[in-house]
Structures are given as structure tokens and as C-alpha cells.
Chain A
Amino acid sequence: MPIIEVENLTKVFGRHPKQAIELLDQGKSKEEILQETGQTVGVNRASFSVEEGEIFVIMGLSGSGKSTLVRLLNRIIEPTQGNIYVNGENLSEMDKKALREVRRKKMSMVFQKFALFPNRTILENAEFGLEIQKVPKEERQEKATKALELVGLGSYLEQKPEQLSGGMQQRVGLARALANDPEVLLMDEAFSALDPLIRKDMQDELIDLQSTMQKTIIFITHDLNEALKMGDRIALMRDGSIVQIGTPEEILVNPANDYVEKFVEDVDRSKVLTAEHIMKRPETINIEKHGPRVALERMSKEGISSILVVDSKRILQGYVTADDASQAIKDDIKDLQEILRTDIPKAMKDTPMNEIFDIINGSPIPVAVVENDRLVGIIVRGAVIAALAGNSGVNE
């Protein structure tokens, strides 16, 4: 069962939301509804579900409704219509008390501008959620201290937020959320206000934290590179609607429409595409069955100057070149073993493209893609260049 399930969730800002909903159902756009009624559609009939332990990224340009959507999830903003299920319980029907319990125990939020309490120390900030739950002072200090240590701020307990740098302040924000030990973290552009370098550190740390703590994270960003890096899945928003949900690969390789494609265009592909996306089915010969003659025949048929050699289990052995093969035929050598070369560049399925680029750059022969020593594909130089240039159809 998904931990969060959202059905048809809609938020209209304004005095007559019902009117706007009717127009939405008639298929009018956000722009038209604003023109006609003065109501702003914040989120338009969003539906998705988030699995436990997943980093679910919600991405879109400024004003596309990300902040509204994430605030609907804990009802900091009241939905106009739609349902939110958390562990199967319908949040939209909860009374205030039950809702508070969910906010206290299950979901914690991290804010774009940190939203730390300036009059409280770092420790007191991290304690806040537990204090609200009336956890005894000693216990909550202990838990808050642990959370602060987890984010590397164990020695700043008595400082005030203003004494810390932006990156450190956001660590406090993260610790404040973690101290509650929630199942879900809601992070609204949590890293957007940070310098690029610090931002990268925080991204890496969050990924580490997530892999050890197995929190479910709903991560909002307007930055596609961040989305691709962080997300197990990404939901792309436009004008309040979700236009595509998919893994980073799906979004990159199969953009659902022009909007997504445009978004994806300027991403640095070398970081996201991996060997798997650009490899081809390799021509091979079997070392146990074939000799130099067959090798040469295959190579001249395919118009290639070298060929990969495997055994019957497709374990990669090496390669032979056309020159060596014809020499062997002249010398009447029958065994491929004698002309086998093993200095072959290799990559894994998930090796990122920028690394493959480096490997292939210094090598006259293609890169072999292996999985547990078994040959699964081959990457030729041209494919790398084409993919880096953003040529679609890379995945043949």
C-alpha cells in the first residue's frame, strides 16, 4: 500500500471556488478561469501515490503550484476538493485533533527559507516538534541533540540561528523535522536558497540519510538537475496540473509532451544518462566454437575492425582485431586464444555517460558493457556523441 495517495486534489484561491471547479471540469485552463472569474487555480485535480521509502520529487516552474500542493498534503492549505490518504486514512476528512496528530507524528516539513525561530537556540529549535507533543524536557533534548548530530551540528546547540550560515540553518531545519521521527518529510524547495556547492553537499547528505533511515521524502524543486539527481520518481507540474509522472529516465527519454520536452532540453544529459541508455546489441563470436576465420568473416560482414569474444555463457573474454585474424589465418593458427586481446575498456549498465565519455575518448575500440562479467552491450563512440548532443532516439 502506498504511504500517501492523492486523488483529484484541487485548490482554488478566491471567494467562489465552486465556480472555478465547474469551469475546470469543463476543461478550461487556469488562465481562462482567472480571466473569467478572478479565481486562481493553485492545484488542478492532482492524483498520484507515493511509496514508502521513496524520494518523490515534485518539479515545475515558479507558480506552477508546487508549494500549494505540498501544503495540501498536510492541510496547511485546505483543499477545495479531493482526497489525501496517509497510510490509508483520509486526511481530508479528519477533524482538527486527528490532523494535528498526523502533523506531529507522521509528517514533518522543511521550509525554503528555513523558518527557524530566531528567539530560540539551535537545540530549542530542533526540540520544537517534541515540545509541541509535550515530550518531557530531558527526552526531547536527547532526541533533538541526536538529530542535530546526525546533520553534523552537534556542537552548535546553544547558538542562535542568526549565528549560522544558510547551509547550517537548513541543517537545523532538517534536524527539527527529523527529531520527530516522522514517516514522511515534506521539503519545499529546501535547498533552493543555498549556494551551489553547499546545495550539492546537502543533496548528497539527504540521499545518504534517506538510504539509512528509509524515510519517505516529498521533495519540491524547480531545478530539473536536482530533480533528476534526487528523485526515484518525478512529478512534473504546469499551471497547477501534473503533466507527467515517471522515473528520471522515463522523463528524459520519453517526455510526455512538448512542455516536458522543452524542460528536459537544457538538462546536462551526461549526468543522467547511463551506459544502459546508449549501448547496442554487440556482435560477438564464441571462443569455444569459432576460430579466426569466422571472426574475420563476421567483421567484414559488419564492416568493423574488431569483434568481442565471449564464451558459451556470454562471459566476456576479450576481443580480436581484423588484422590479427587475417595474420592468424595465414599462419594457420586455429585457436582464437592465441590472438585474443584482453585490454578492453569496460563499463557497467549504470555507469554515467560523462565517465563513459572519458573512457571511450582514449580508446580506439568500443566500450563493453558488462553485468557480472557477462557481456550485455557495446557502446560505440558515435552513440556517446549523439546522446551528449541531445539527439533523441538514443535508446534503440
Chain B
Amino acid sequence: MMLDFIPEIPISDWTTDFTKWVTDKFAFLFDFIKDNFGSLMEFLTAQLMVIPPIIFILIIAVLAFFLSGKKFGLAAFSIVGLWLIYNQGLWEHLMNTLVLVLIASALSVIIGIPVGILMAKSKIAETIITPILDFMQTMPAFVYLIPAVAFFGIGMVPGVFASLIFASPPTVRFTNLGIRQVSKELVEASDAFGSTGAQKLFKVELPMAKATISAGINQTVMLALSMVVTASMIGAPGLGREVLSALQRAQVGPGFVAGIGIVILAIIIDRLTQSSSKKENM
């Protein structure tokens, strides 16, 4: 057969070898991250747990009230929703999930915006990075779990790593898009007045791209949240783990309750990030 001229290419072996090589070679780095980052996140979770739930709920409600333009809807929803999670005995899981999502999102933004800027500034960078982003987003998220475990063992840190890979592309893409969309005339005006590259970026391009970048960040946060169940498969604690264990034991009730908790969190985070980006837009 024509198709058999070339024997099977050992892609999977290569990948395994490569991952192993990276794991060995950068063990010091991964260990460093795992230890420090892991304890940082535990510390954060512990701090959040110190805040009495009632205070926490009120803070979120006030935030919701002001960010949504002094409307009561989101604030009321936050109070009822968060109280329900508390009522179902899921508070600690909620805090764990929150830390996972926030850290993964923050890292996505910290890494994603500069990468997006690079893409906007360099045609070559855009040509190289775009297919990588496509790859990151279409590869089933489960696949990231394997190297994540190899690098960081199990727990919160590999969860963040997998979420980061899965969730960062929108921030990168939207940053690139937002900057490229800035009207040619404004860029020209900025050049004509003698801006340096950095001045142009910070005084014109980023402010003009703000709304688009915010939309990207919103998507990133939602994707990070959607990863919590997947991440729990490698030991990340939180609401996701409750869903997973309910699944493993075929318990509809607890699964549904934990699932509702994720939905409530998703709605609150989505509306909060959306309304803050809308406000910046004005």
C-alpha cells in the first residue's frame, strides 16, 4: 500500500520523551513554582476563609451594586446566590474555586496582554502565535492535564497551569485585535506629534483598545471557570471536585448542588467583569 511507505511516525514517543526531558531538565524550576506558588495559593485561600461569609457576601453585593451602575439586580442575586452556596455547606469549596479561577485569570492577563501587544506590533509574531493559540484552544483540555501532572504533581498548581493554557488565548487574541483596530488616523496623529513607541502604546493604543481587551479578559475568566471540573481531576480542590466525586459515585443530588454553585459563581463573575469593562468603555 502506498500509504504504508513510511512507517508509523513515533509522534507520541517523541512527545513523551520531550515532556520527560523538560520535566527533568527544569525540575528545579517546577519544584520552585510548586512549592512557592502552592503555598501562596493556600495562604490566599486561608485568608479568604478568615473573612466571615456574611462580610464576604456583603462586600460582593456592594461591589456588584456600584459596578453595575447602582442597580440592585446583580447585588440581590449575589446575596441570594452566595448565601445558597453557604447554606449548602460549599463555602470552603467556593473559596478554593475562586482562588483557582482568579489566579489562573490573573496569570492569563499578565502573560496574555504583553503577548497580544507583541502580536499587534509584529507581523511575524502574529503569524507564529496565531496557530499556537488555535492549537491551545482546540486541543481537548484534558490533554493538558498530563504534562501538568508531570511538571507539578497533583493539586492546585497543576490546575492553574492547565487552566492558564486553556483560558489565556482570548486575552491574547483580543489584545492583538484591539490594538490593530485602533484607527489609522489616531496612530498617525500620535506619530505626527512625535510619540515614542511606548508613548503611542500607553497613551493611544491601549486606552483605545481597552473595551476590546476587557471583553477578552471576560472570556478568559469564564474559560478558567469552565476548567474547574477538569482541573479537579488532577486534585485541584473546590466546587469542581464535588462535581467530579458526585459523578464517580453517581450521586445526582450532590452533583447538581455543586454544579449550581459553579453556575452562580459564573454569573456573578461574568456580570462583574462585563459591567466593569462597559464602564471603562464610556
User: In the complex, A103 Cα to B189 Cα: how many Å?
Assistant: 11
How far, in angstroms, from A395 to B166 measured CA to CA in the complex? 80
Nearest residue in A to B281 (C-beta to C-beta)?
A119
Q: Within the assembled complex, what's the spacing in Å between the Cα atoms of A212 and B64?
A: 56
Please state if B188 and A132 are interface contacts (CB–CB under 8 Å).
Answer: no
The interface residues of chain B lying within 8 Å CB-to-CB of A131 are 203
Q: What is the bound-complex CA distance between A118 and B209, given in angstroms?
A: 12
Assembly CA distance A74 to B193 (angstroms): 10
A108 touches B193 (CB 8 A): yes
CB nearest neighbor in B for A180: B193
The reply to whether B194 and A111 contact each other, CB–CB distance below 8 Å, is: no
Judge if A129 is at the interface, Cβ distance under 8 Å: yes
Q: A119-B208, A132-B199 are in contact. Are A100 and B194 (CB under 8 A)?
A: yes
Within 8 A of A (CB), among B170-219: 183, 185-186, 188-196, 199, 203-204, 207-208, 210
Given contacts A131-B203, A132-B199, contact A117 B186 (CB under 8 A): yes
Pick the residue among A103, A118, A119 that contacts B193 (CB under 8 A): A103
A329 CB to closest chain B CB (Å) equals: 76
Cβ of A133 < 8 Å from any Cβ of B?
A: yes
A115 x B188 contact (CB < 8 A): yes
**Are A115 and B186 within 8 A (Cβ)?**
yes
Task: Assess whether A104 is in contact with B186, with CB atoms less than 8 Å apart.
Answer: no
Given contacts A111-B188, A117-B186, contact A129 B207 (CB under 8 A): no
Please determine whether B185 and A111 come into contact, CB atoms closer than 8 angstroms: yes
Q: Write the A73-117 contact mask toward B (1 if CB under 8 angstroms, else 0).
A: 010100000000000000000000000111110011101010101
Does B208 lie within 8 Å of A103, measured CB to CB? Answer: no
Residues of A within 8 A of B185 (CB): 111, 113, 115
- The 8 Å CB contact of A132, one of B183, B193, B210, is B193
- Does A128 sit within 8 A of B, measured CB to CB? yes
Q: Is the CB of B207 within 8 A of A103?
A: no
Enumerate chain A residues within 8 angstroms of B193, measured Cβ to Cβ. 103-104, 108-109, 128-129, 132, 176, 180
Interface size on A, residues (CB 8 A): 25
**B204 — nearest CB in chain A belongs to which residue?**
A117
Min distance, Cβ A118 to any Cβ of chain B, angstroms? 8
Chain A, interface SS category:
mixed
- What number of B residues sit within 8 Å (CB to CB) of A? 18
Q: Are B203 and A109 in contact (CB under 8 A)?
A: no
Complex Cα–Cα for A117 and B210 (A): 13
Please measure, in the bound complex, the distance between the C-alpha atom of A132 and the C-alpha atom of B186, giving whole angstroms: 14
Closest Cβ neighbor of B199 among chain A residues: A132
* Whole-angstrom CA separation of A109 from B185 in the bound complex: 11
How close is A112's CB to chain B, nearest CB, in angstroms? 8
The answer to whether B192 touches A119, judged by C-beta atoms less than 8 angstroms apart, is no
- With the chains together, A384 CA to B33 CA distance in Å? 91
Nearest neighbor of A99 in chain B, beta-carbon distance: B194
- How many angstroms from the CA of A226 to the CA of B185 in the assembled complex? 23
What separation, in Å, do the CA atoms of A128 and B192 have in the docked complex?
Answer: 11
Query: Residue of B at shortest CB range from A71?
Result: B188
Q: Are A119 and B203 also in contact (CB < 8 A) when A74-B192, A108-B192 are?
A: no
* Other-chain contact of A129, B188, B194, B196 (Cβ < 8 Å): B194
A119–B207 CB distance below 8 A = yes
Contacts of B186 in A (CB 8 A): 115, 117
The smallest C-beta distance from A101 to any residue of chain B, in angstroms, reads 7
B191/A132 in contact, CB under 8 A:
no
Please give the distance in Å from A123's CB to the nearest CB on chain B.
15
A279-304 interface mask toward B, CB cutoff 8 Å, 1 = contact, 0 = none? 00000000000000000000000000
- Chain B residues closer than 8 Å to A129, beta-carbon distance: 193-194
Q: Chain B nearest CB: distance from A179 CB in Å?
A: 10
A132 to B195, CA, bound (A): 6
Residues of chain A within 8 A of B194, CB atoms compared: 100-104, 129, 132-133
Asked whether, in the complex, the Cβ of A76 is within 8 Å of the Cβ of B208, the reply is: no
Q: A63 to chain B: closest CB distance in Å?
A: 17
**In the complex, which residues of chain A have a beta carbon less than 8 angstroms from the beta carbon of B188?**
71, 76, 109, 111, 115
**Which residue of B is nearest A130, CB measured?**
B193
A76 touches B191 (CB 8 A): yes
Which are the 8 A-B pairs with shortest beta-carbon distances? A104-B194, A103-B194, A115-B185, A109-B192, A115-B189, A100-B194, A129-B193, A119-B207
* 11 A-B contacts (beta carbon < 8 Å): A76-B191, A76-B192, A100-B196, A101-B194, A108-B192, A108-B193, A117-B186, A117-B208, A119-B210, A176-B193, A180-B193
- Known A111-B185, A117-B204, A118-B208; 9 more pairs at CB < 8 Å: A76-B192, A101-B194, A103-B194, A108-B193, A109-B193, A119-B207, A119-B210, A176-B193, A186-B192
